[in-house]
Chains A and B, each alone.
Chain A
Amino acid sequence: MERSRVNIAVGLFVLIGIAGLAYLSIQLGRVSFLGATGYVVTADFPSVGGLKAGSTVEIAGVEIGRVEAIGLADYQARVTLRIHAGVNLQEDSIASIKTKGLIGEKYLRISPGGSDRLIPPRGKIREVEAPVDFEELLSKYIFGKI
């Protein structure tokens, strides 16, 4: 009797441990599985330079979604974003790829527009700004071209 009680306690402990591990790996791996909430919009960029699936999408520094996938479409980068439900994006919103700090990670910043038309789910953000390539700019304006 005593022994089976210990066994049950150990079993429960292990189960809780496994559940904790699963939770951690889902959170850290930024995997959305089972009932991904929110809605999806896309945006085409000439270059994404360092943006990755899982990067954050922000308005005013507040996370409103994540980059779900990045693929190639007609030699442009097509970024698929999953936006939290309840956050509306106006048709003239601008999506810009920005860097956190000077050399930090890349994220996607959306500056909301003023249009009364909203981007529908599976719609497209048509106003985009590609990341500024500092190295390229530097070499261009310091050294010039041959």
Chain B
Amino acid sequence: MTIGRRGLVFAAGLVLLLVPAEVRAVQPTDQLRTQIDRVLRVLEDPELKKEGKVKARRAAVRKIANDIFDFSETAKRSLARHWPPRTPAEREEFVTLFADLLERGYISKIEVYGGEKIAYLGETIEGDLATVRTKITTKQQTDIPIDYRMLVRGEKWLVYDVIIEGVSLIANYRTQFNKIITTSSYQELVRRMKTKQEEFDEDERKRTSQR
């Protein structure tokens, strides 16, 4: 009798342990696919394709990017050793600058999207981290492998690293940031990032006013 009851308690405990895993059963691939499909819809929206709508389009893409990317985690991992000494205010400023940097580099590039195919090849989940493997097939039939590294934040899976053709985004920025900070200073890095952003904004203004 006692053994049976003990068994019951054990089983109840086991069920309790298993429940959270069941609740967050949304798979990283599904979540990624939903957001990428949203981006594609924005890019293919004929209304947003019109001249002079670049700003609105970019804002829409950035909004979706904020839903799927964990920019603060990417920024933190890119700064690596130089992250812990930063004050909360510095961290916040850096995350914003870094998100702008990624927008300049990547969001402006995906605007040239012209119906390339995206295939989802599979996912591996390892504790609170996951890798989703995808492949983009260009019009010249070249395959570009893109892996998304994701982590659990509450109920959601968020992307923190993108590995294109085996090259990690974080590893790339980590090396560059480390070089700048060790040869000059953190302040110099922030100054450079700010000037780059100002130059970019200036260029954008010129381009839009020319039209």
Contacts and interface: CB of A to CB of B under 8 A. Distances in A.
A50 interface: no
Interface stretch (A24-32, A33-41, A125-133): A125-133
B84 A114 contact: yes
B35 to A, nearest CB: 22
Interface in A85-112: 90, 92, 94, 96, 111-112
A94 B174 contact: yes
A114 B142 contact: no
A142 to B, nearest CB: 10
Interface size class of chain A, counting residues whose CB lies under 8 Å from the partner chain: 20 to 34
A132 B165 contact: yes
Interface stretch (B73-81, B94-102, B188-196): B73-81
B170 interface: yes
Contact of B142 (A112, A130, A145): A145
Given A112-B81, A129-B171, A140 B142 contact: yes
Nearest to A144: B140
B57 interface: no
B8 interface: no
A140 B164 CA distance: 14
A141 B77 contact: no
A146 interface: yes
Contact of B171 (A111, A131, A145): A111
Interface string B117-154: 00000000010010000000000111100000100000
A111 B174 CA distance: 8
Contacts of A116: 84
Contacts of A127: 149, 161, 168, 170-171
A113 interface: yes
Interface in B51-91: 76-77, 79-84
Interface size class of chain B, counting residues whose CB lies under 8 Å from the partner chain: 20 to 34
Contacts of B9: none
Nearest to B174: A111
- From A114, A130, A141, A146, residue with most partner B Cβ within 10 Å: A114
Nearest to A45: B166
A145 B84 CA distance: 46
B163 interface: yes
B80 A111 contact: yes
Interface string A62-96: 00000000000000000000000000001010101
B167 interface: yes
B174 A126 contact: no
A145 B82 contact: no
A114 B167 contact: no
B81 A113 contact: yes
A111 B175 contact: yes
B129 A126 contact: yes
A106 B47 CA distance: 51
Given A111-B174, A114-B76, A129 B84 contact: no
Contact of B168 (A46, A112, A114, A129): A129
A130 B166 contact: yes
19 contacts: A46-B166, A90-B80, A92-B80, A94-B170, A94-B171, A96-B168, A96-B171, A111-B80, A111-B171, A111-B174, A112-B80, A112-B81, A113-B80, A126-B129, A127-B171, A130-B166, A131-B166, A133-B166, A145-B143
